[in-house]
Structure 1
Amino acid sequence: MTPIYRATSFSILIFSLILVNAILLGVEIDLSSSLGEADIPPWLGMLNAFIVCVFVLEIVLKFIAYGCRGFWRGPQAWWNIFDFIIVAISAIETALDIWARSLASSVWGSDAFSVVRTMRLARALRGMRFLRVFRYFSALRVLVLSIVSTINSLLWTMVLLFVIFYSFGVILTQLVLDYCRFLAVQASGGNVNAVPDCPAELQRYWSSIGRSMLTLFYAITNGVAWAETLRPLEDVSFLAVIFVIFYIIISVFTLLNVVTGVFVNTAIERASADKDIAALKAFQKRKEQMHILQQAFEALDHRQTNKLEIQDIQEAMGLDSVGTFLESLDISTDDIKMLFTLIDADNSGTIDLEEFVSGCMQLHGPAKSLQLAKMSYENKLTRDAVNTVKADLRTLVSKLEQRPSGPSGPSALIREPL
């Protein structure tokens, strides 16, 4: 008997409740924008609490079925932890909301503001519930797993970008401050101790290390046009312009493209490594292939007998479409008789639909490791049998050679045990 938490109907129920809960949360938020707290229909809160209780019940059933170790460290451990965190946040949010509602009517002044803040915090966590929908769609799971798998690369990318921002920021800020100090010295009549006074554009973009780093960040993320930040540096020095152009070349044409490639490669590897997704894709591919083979069988069975004979396949091979179709499945059609013999598993001289589909699935593509291992094992059994027969023949020949010639004839040899 399938456990209730693994039943398809139960999964559909949980998924439906997630969708209903998300819709109700949106409706409640829209209503609360034009109604007072006491005017919000109470059935929304009751239904919300009921749905959360069902989510908690689901987690409890899984915990009882898997056990402590199976729940936290089993094959589905990461999704169990994900569900547990989301449901725990939902339960805490619901409890805080119920508690705040019960106190809202009896408090005033500063206490009322504390209750309102508690309700705001609790309700802000409601959007987390809809994240559970990721578990029920393989495409969403691929995206989430891909994003999570790139976090490590993202952290190192941030470190690399910080180093580049800081290095170029120090160079450009130093050049700008030297220019501004020169202007201040000129304006003060030669006072070398004058405080640097930068023009407005330089003050806006390049007046400090922090501003320079932020400008460099904006320049490669379309936060600001880099030509706009470059224009005031033309008055500073030609060297400053060269450094900005060199920075743009490194960042836009090299760094960002390399980082994007690393992210894409990491995401693809992580998505391919997910066992559930890989199994689902393999199942879908196999199902599509079986459907195509069924259509091919119907095309070959032009006599509508649900049986294929070797003549049917030979006639069909005269059509380019059938031969091309089988070749597209990596099934060789060079030897039709051998192909028919391999597919005809029961050696009946005819091939039914089940034999055709299973035979083509086995012949599809290159040999698999299991098939090679099976063939190697069967070859080993054959060699052992041949060696046994060879040893028996040698024993028989030896006995024949040792037997003295006489009138007893072959009958005596037959009676004599080997």
Structure 2
Amino acid sequence: MDVEDISDHWGGAFDQEPVKPTLQSGGSKLVKGDDLDLAGSKFALLKNNPFASQSEDEQQLSSFADTMKALGNYNKNMSFIGWVASSVLFKTFSMMAIAANTVYLGTAADFNVKNAYRRVSGMPKEQELVAPDIVFAVWFTVEILTRIGAEKKLFFVGEDKAWNLFDTLLVLEALLGLVLDTGSKLSFLRILRVFRLVRVVRVVRTIKPLRRLRTMIFAILNSFVDLMWAFLVVGLILFVFAIVFDNAVATYFDELDLNDSDKLQEAKEVHILFGSLYESMISLWSAVSGGNDWMSYGEVLRKLGLGDFYFLVFNFYIAFCVVGLFNVVTGVFVDSAVCSRTQDEVVQGYLDDLKQTTTEIKSLFLEADADGSGTLSLEEFTLHLKTPTVKAYFSGLGIDPEEASIVFTMLDSDRSGQVGIEEFVHGTMKLKGGATKLDLMTMMYDSTRQSKKFDSLCLFLETEMNHLRSSLGHTGMMGARVAFTEYPKEPSI
């Protein structure tokens, strides 16, 4: 039975070889197979590190081969329309069409507003462009039909059903605008096409310049629920303080001297800013959002009865919003953005870190290989570890440079006295950092498995010893019987 021995990770060897199937005499199995997928996956990733054993040219060729494979990823069980919809070329054209349509919407909006003003200025309007609308409508219709033909019912009930419904509605809007000539009435719906760019960013995962943009967009989308709650909290604060100031304004109007023209003029100013609950909330929002200088609103409140008191209340409102409320809201958004990384971004970040660390370790190996033999001896390794830069780097990886001989012994998995580049990279990556919970679980697993193997061995030896003892006992009895026959007792006289 195949058993993958990972205990060598702790014994000094870094290449774990599977134990060959072994049956003992009598059919007894000394090893009972156990699977440790979790530990095996961790070490398999380091053992099969693609960045450690491939040169830069090989990586480029591999990347090119993967791209060509994706372009021609035809499965005999896949329909032709399914192959077209899943091809990189089709997806690339779709993304380019969405981006081009977004640019066209901007230029069309600029042209429409300028063309509409020509009528106001007494100049004849220019002819609007229709050809781009037809081209985009035809392409998006073909795209939707192709995806429906490829995905069939999954288009409507699959994982991306919301996006698919959104795309379908946009295509129907474009077709209605062309057929019924309702472009001017439904032109505001064209703005929704811009949001298809979000889907483009969602699809593009491997282009480095777009990763940051994609992260920011998804941070905003994932924070949308928090944004709604933030709006509710801000609205509640505005509502409460608007009630306070409206009651003060109502009292001010009731006690106003109607014969004083100056007071009546002041009352008009107060009414403009705090004449209703809605106006009061707008004024309070403008005071804290930068719409107007908050001091101008404070001076108006000073004119009320007990004006200094309400002025202090207004100052408390400003301090509460600026120092407290908005900072709390910002903190909530930052926390939501930090936690918004998608699974593929986490994996890609780990792979990028793995690739960078591997490249740095390779450069250290090449610097330490003084004779250019492609391997490191203990002397070369010890000498290179004395370099301050290398010492600092290994300390950063959690490796003590003072224990060079121990580290070299652990890196030298084949006990040849020389460390190759793959041994150096693999070993250093495994020595990186401290022991994790998985490492402790691996040790516990190995200890338990070795204990079971030892118990099985003891049981096997005990069985064999009993069998041997039984055989020896049977042989002894036969020998005694033969001796009795050959040497009979002397007859008594």
Q: In 2, distance between residues paired with 1:354 and 1:257?
A: 51
Residue in 2 that maps onto 1:192: none
What CA deviation, in whole Å up to 9, does each residue of 1:26-57 have, x standing for no partner?
Answer: 45555666597866373x34532343145325
Q: CA deviation at 1:230?
A: 0.4
Percent of aligned pairs sharing the same letter: 22
Residue in 1 that maps onto 2:99: 19
Contact 2:105 2:191 in 1 (8 A): no
Q: Counterparts in 2 of 1:201-220, with a 5 A limit? A: 201-220=269-288
Residue in 1 that maps onto 2:365: 297
Residue in 2 that maps onto 1:312: 380
Q: In 1, distance between residues paired with 2:441 and 2:86?
A: 35
Q: CA deviation at 1:390?
A: 5.3
Contact 2:273 2:280 in 1 (8 A): yes
Q: Counterparts in 2 of 1:110-129, with a 5 A limit? A: 115-118=182-185, 120-121=187-188, 123-129=190-196
Q: In 1, distance between residues paired with 2:383 and 2:277?
A: 80
Q: In 2, distance between residues paired with 1:164 and 1:25?
A: 39
1:261 to 308, 331, 335: 331
**In the superposition, relative to structure 1, how do residues 59 and 286 fare at CA in structure 2: closer, same or farther (>3 Å)?**
farther
Q: CA deviation at 1:162?
A: 2.4
One-letter identity of the residue aligned with 2:170: S
Q: Is 1:179 equivalent to 2:252 in the alignment?
A: yes
What CA deviation, in whole Å up to 9, does each residue of 1:187-218 have, x standing for no partner?
Answer: 59xxxxxxx98523212212222221211111
Corresponding residue pairs, total: 375
One-letter identity of the residue aligned with 1:260: T
Q: CA deviation at 1:24?
A: 4.4
Q: Is 1:84 equivalent to 2:164 in the alignment?
A: yes
Q: In 1, distance between residues paired with 2:435 and 2:458?
A: 32
Residue in 2 that maps onto 1:351: 419
Q: In 2, distance between residues paired with 1:126 and 1:36?
A: 26
What CA deviation, in whole Å up to 9, does each residue of 1:234-274 have, x standing for no partner?
Answer: 222221112101111211111111111112112212x13x2
2:310 to 240, 251, 259: 240
1:55 to 117, 139, 143: 143
More divergent stretch after superposition (276-285 vs 3-12): 3-12
Q: In 1, distance between residues paired with 2:128 and 2:258?
A: 69
Q: Is 1:96 equivalent to 2:176 in the alignment?
A: yes
TM-score for both structures, normalised by structure 2:
0.66
| Aligned-residue RMSD, C-alpha | 3.5
One-letter identity of the residue aligned with 1:131: V
What CA deviation, in whole Å up to 9, does each residue of 1:374-399 have, x standing for no partner?
Answer: 33222222223344455677789999
Residue in 2 that maps onto 1:363: 431
Q: CA deviation at 1:295?
A: 1.4
Residue in 2 that maps onto 1:132: 199
**In the superposition, relative to structure 1, how do residues 28 and 220 fare at CA in structure 2: closer, same or farther (>3 Å)?**
closer
Q: In 1, distance between residues paired with 2:364 and 2:468?
A: 60
What CA deviation, in whole Å up to 9, does each residue of 1:271-323 have, x standing for no partner?
Answer: 13x21221221222222122212212211222212212222211111212112
Contact 2:220 2:337 in 1 (8 A): yes
Contact 2:97 2:136 in 1 (8 A): no
SS of equivalent to 1:199: helix
Q: In 1, distance between residues paired with 2:348 and 2:89?
A: 19
**In the superposition, relative to structure 1, how do residues 327 and 9 fare at CA in structure 2: closer, same or farther (>3 Å)?**
farther
SS of equivalent to 1:117: coil
Contact 1:300 1:312 in 2 (8 A): yes
More divergent stretch after superposition (178-187 vs 158-167): 178-187
Contact 1:233 1:240 in 2 (8 A): yes
Q: As a proportion of its length, which structure holds more helix?
A: 1
SS of equivalent to 2:272: helix
Q: Which runs of 4+ in 1 moved over 6 A?
A: 392-405
Q: Which residues of structure 1 form unaligned runs of 5+?
A: 102-114, 189-195, 409-418
Contact 1:184 1:197 in 2 (8 A): no
One-letter identity of the residue aligned with 1:312: E
Q: In 1, distance between residues paired with 2:248 and 2:138?
A: 65
Q: In 1, distance between residues paired with 2:230 and 2:461?
A: 74
Residue in 2 that maps onto 1:199: 267
Contact 1:100 1:118 in 2 (8 A): no
Q: Is 1:169 equivalent to 2:242 in the alignment?
A: yes
Q: CA deviation at 1:82?
A: 5.3
**In the superposition, relative to structure 1, how do residues 6 and 296 fare at CA in structure 2: closer, same or farther (>3 Å)?**
farther
Q: In 2, distance between residues paired with 1:358 and 1:57?
A: 50
